[in-house]
Amino acid sequence: MAYTRAAAFAPATVANLGVGFDVLGLALCEPGDVVIAERRDTPGAAVRLIENDGGILPYEAKKNTACVAAESALRLIGAPSGVWLTIQKGLPSASGLGSSAASAVAAAVAVNALFGEPVERAELLGACLDGEAVASGYHPDNVAPALLGGITLATGLTPAQVHRIPVPDRLHLALVTPNVAVPTAEARAVLPKLVALKAMVTQTAAIAYLLHTIYEQDIVAMGAAMERDGIIEPARAHLMPRLDEARRAAKAAGAYGLVISGAGPSLVAICDDAQQASTVAEALRHVYDTSGIGCTAFATRVSEQGARVISSE
């Protein structure tokens, strides 16, 4: 069945999980973006309205991640008409929570729903990556978990190369987003162009050990394993205000580890129950509030579902 209007939600994501640069990511239960797709006679996708973005996102179709993803999804499903998009931002840009990926994923899922979901969810991966590429290139560490939910390991850019990792039962998260922006392009620009063989071996072992801790559902070891990044965090640490202080505060409040979420400046702490995660979130909030930077801090969990259709009519 096809509809005249469909809306989809796509969640925030935490990319890298510390040591897994560009290959690991997880979906959060909240917050996220909503995209509404409505039929229009003209082929292709166009943006009707963008809400809650502070006026910074482009309306131009080729520069808007949601619009590019919608165009790609229309081609994929062979849609007989085009779409208007209304983008409702729930995620701040340049926050390290997968804002551009959430818009792209929500748009692709909404377009698919508008035309009666002719393709399976995983088949939308390429369309979502097309949208994400406008902002930060082709890498599925945010897109894959936003689209499919859970914790994902991406070994390539096709659905067959995205693997779901079991989410530990007791995994809880505390997140903080300081009121500063770290554009992905800036965060990538500071990364080393070459990595020593010894550093590569150490990082490879760290990723393997992290996956082992996740499969073992060992939250304590998982938090420690995520902190073993010897390549990306050292290069980006100067872009994250109060990183060391935040890590100390999180651990003093009971967290088992704290790492940069994606390109930052958001930070994510690993906990094993809801009360602990709430306590850690408040400790992180205190770090930034007392420093005059300000922040948003909250406790949440991993979303097993990822993106979802909210309505179709």
| Rounded (10°) CA dihedral 26, 216, 255, 169 | 60
Beta carbons within 8 Å of 86's beta carbon, 6+ residues apart:
35, 36, 38, 47, 48, 49, 50, 51
Of 65, 152, 184, 279, the active-site residue reads 184
Torsions phi, psi of 207, nearest 5? -65, -45
Closest CA to 143 of 18, 261, 25, 292: 25
Active-site annotation holds for 184: yes
Torsions phi, psi of 153, nearest 5? -115, 120
Whole-Å CA distances, 92 to 59, 182, 243, 253 = 17, 11, 20, 26
Of 132, 152, 177, 279, the active-site residue reads 132
Task: Report, in angstroms and rounded to the nearest whole number, the Rg of the chain calculated over CA atoms.
Answer: 19
DSSP calls for 190-245:
TS-S---HHHHHHHHHHHHHHHHHHHTT-HHHHHHHHTT-SSHHHHHGGGSTTHHH
Q: 313 - beta bridge partners?
A: none
Q: 260 - beta bridge partners?
A: 267
Report helix angle 219-226 to 197-215, nearest 10.
160
DSSP calls for 261-305:
-TTSS-EEEEESSHHHHHHHHHHHHHHHHHHT--EEEEEE-B-SS
Active-site annotation holds for 86: no
Enzyme catalytic residues: 132, 184
